[in-house]
Amino acid sequence: MSAPTAFRRRYGASPLHLLLVLASFALAVYAGLRLFEGDTVGVALWFVGAALLHDLVLLPLYSLTDRAAQALFIGGSDDGRPAARVSVNHVRVPAFVSGVLLLVWWPLILEQVGHYTAATALPADGFLARWLLITAGLFAASAVVLIVRTRQRSRSRRQARNATERGRGRG
């Protein structure tokens, strides 16, 4: 890389960066003046809130939940070694899928839309039941995978033990 120019030293990036960012800011202000017309405070709250919703609300919530779930799965296995914590994924994956379904469709699932039936002639109930059944299905499917994996593991462990005993018998 060539020696940094005086501009880069002062600004911290290339002139192209400055030009593109200024162009984008000008466009954002042009559109923003129109966006903020009307309920300025409301729109500002929604915009900034949307920027922080995941980072400051959702992420702490799901990270703490995830750590709690991980804590459940820490511990020694039957052979005395610490158990592989990957088994937490049997809870984590279905909970994640169920969670994103709720995150997207919560207004319908929680029956928050009062005029839904009046507008669409469709029944407003049933979304909660469907989401609960999907969630049940996800955890049940995960349980089946867990059972299959546990059986496979114990079978391979048994086979390994038998092989060692046979080997010892020969020796």
Partner 1 sequence: MGESSSGQPPGGTPRHPHARASGNADGASEHGPAGRAATPGKSAAAEETSPGPVARLGARVKSAGSAGPPPGPARPEFWRSPLRGPWLTAVFGLVLLFGITVLFVTGLLSYAAYNPDLAAVNDQTPDKGWLGFYLFSWPTSPYWLYRLTQGVHVTLGVVLVPVLLAKLWSVIPKLFEWPPIRSVSHAVDRLSLLLLVGGAGFEFVTGILNVQLHYIFPGSFYTLHFYGAWVFIGAFVVHVTFRLPRALRALRRRLGEPAAGTEEAAGLVAPRPAAPTISRRGALAMVGLGSVALLVVTAGQSIGGWWRQTALLAPHGRDPGSGPNGFQVNKTATSVGIRPSDVGPAWRLTVRGPGRQVDLTYRQLLTMTQHEAALPIACVEGWSTTDQQWSGVRLTDLAALVGLGVRTPEVLVESVQRGGSFRSAVLRDNQVRDSRSLLALRVNGATLSPDHGYPARIIVPGAPGVHNTKWVTRLTFGEPA
Site for partner 1 in 80-109 (CB under 8 A): 85-86, 88-89, 92-93, 96-97, 100-101, 103-105, 107-109
Specify whether the backbone of 17 is left (phi greater than 0), alpha (psi in -120 to 50) or beta: alpha
Cβ closest to partner 1, residue 9 vs residue 168: 9
Cα–Cα distance measured from residue 1 to residue 22, given in angstroms and rounded to the nearest whole number: 25
Task: Tell me which residues in 7-66 interact with partner 1 (CB under 8 A).
Answer: 8-14, 17-18, 20-21, 23-28, 30-32, 34-35, 37-39, 42-43, 45-51, 53-55, 58-59, 63-64, 66
Cα–Cα distance measured from residue 154 to residue 161, given in angstroms and rounded to the nearest whole number: 10
In 44-170 the beta strands, taken as DSSP E runs, fall at none
Distance of closest approach, residue 136 Cβ to partner 1, in angstroms: 13
Residues 6+ positions from 148 with CB-CB distance below 8 Å: none
Distance of closest approach, residue 161 Cβ to partner 1, in angstroms: 27
**In one letter, which amino acid is 64?**
L
Tokens for 71, please give them. 């804590």
Distance of closest approach, residue 10 Cβ to partner 1, in angstroms: 5
The answer to the question of residue 160 lying near partner 1 (CB under 8 A) is no
Distance of closest approach, residue 99 Cβ to partner 1, in angstroms: 8
